[in-house]
Amino acid sequence: MRGSVPADLPLADELSAVFARMSGLLLSEETVSTAVRLITSLATDTIAETAGAGVTLIDDSGRRTTAGASDPLVERADSVQYELDQGPCLTAWAGRTVVRIDDIPTDPRWPQWSAAVEPLGLRASLSAPLVAGDAALGAIKVYAHRPHAYGGRAERVLTMFAAQAAILLKNIQSYETAQRLSDELRGALRSRDLIGMAKGVLMARDGVDEDVAFAILASTAQREHKRLKDVAHAVVKSAGRRRR
């Protein structure tokens, strides 16, 4: 049995149950790609009649950064959008609006995309933008095999679902960015310390000043086509061997 919330619950109660499940799944995750997979799975379970769901994340320049789908059919339907640079998901992101297709084969808005998707057996879709604050992160979309599968209630549920998912994805993206910058900073500090040690070795060994020591390291790196920190590491390591 699918894990969707009973349809007779009031909408507010349904959304509360969905958000609680989503938070429990996502707040412990550290990668955007993992979060995307979990969101698509939960969306499939939550929106009635859904055969599969997908998430597309897009940066400020319009470049797709992450995509995930709960089903190979959804993955194919989404990939056609990316190939054609048109379709409901991209429109939902660009216009920050919900896009509903009641019957894909007869919808006139994206004829090339509709023609390519029809053989997949997907007949209806619903796409909602992922917006957190002023940032449009991308879009989430669900597909159904039955035409006219989605109505106003499904639109409201997916809209609220998308709003919560966007906040969680934004938080995870921010964490990953901070972690990456922290790692880069630690790497830069380690390189600086290593180069400083290597300069000290050269200054003591060759009786040169700091500027000349750095010039020796830089010219060696250029001549041997190596990174400066690798040359510095070799100098420090060789000094250690000599002391033994």
Strands 64-69, 52-58: pairing is antiparallel
Q: What is the pLDDT of residue 232?
A: 85
pTM: 0.66
Q: What is the pLDDT of residue 135?
A: 87
What tens digit of pLDDT does each residue of 135-147 get? 899 999 999 999 9
Q: What is the pLDDT of residue 28?
A: 52
Output the CA angle 215-219-222, nearest 5 degrees: 140
What the block records as the tokens of 153 is 């209630």
Q: What is the pLDDT of residue 31?
A: 74
Q: What is the pLDDT of residue 69?
A: 92
Domains of the chain by range and CATH?
A: 11-177 (3.30.450.40), 180-243 (1.10.10.10)
Low-confidence ranges of the chain (pLDDT < 70): 1-30, 175-189, 240-244
Q: What is the pLDDT of residue 217?
A: 84
What the block records as the tokens of 52 is 């599969």
The continuous run of DSSP H or E covering 136 comes out as strand 135-144
Dist CA 86 CA 76 (whole Å): 14
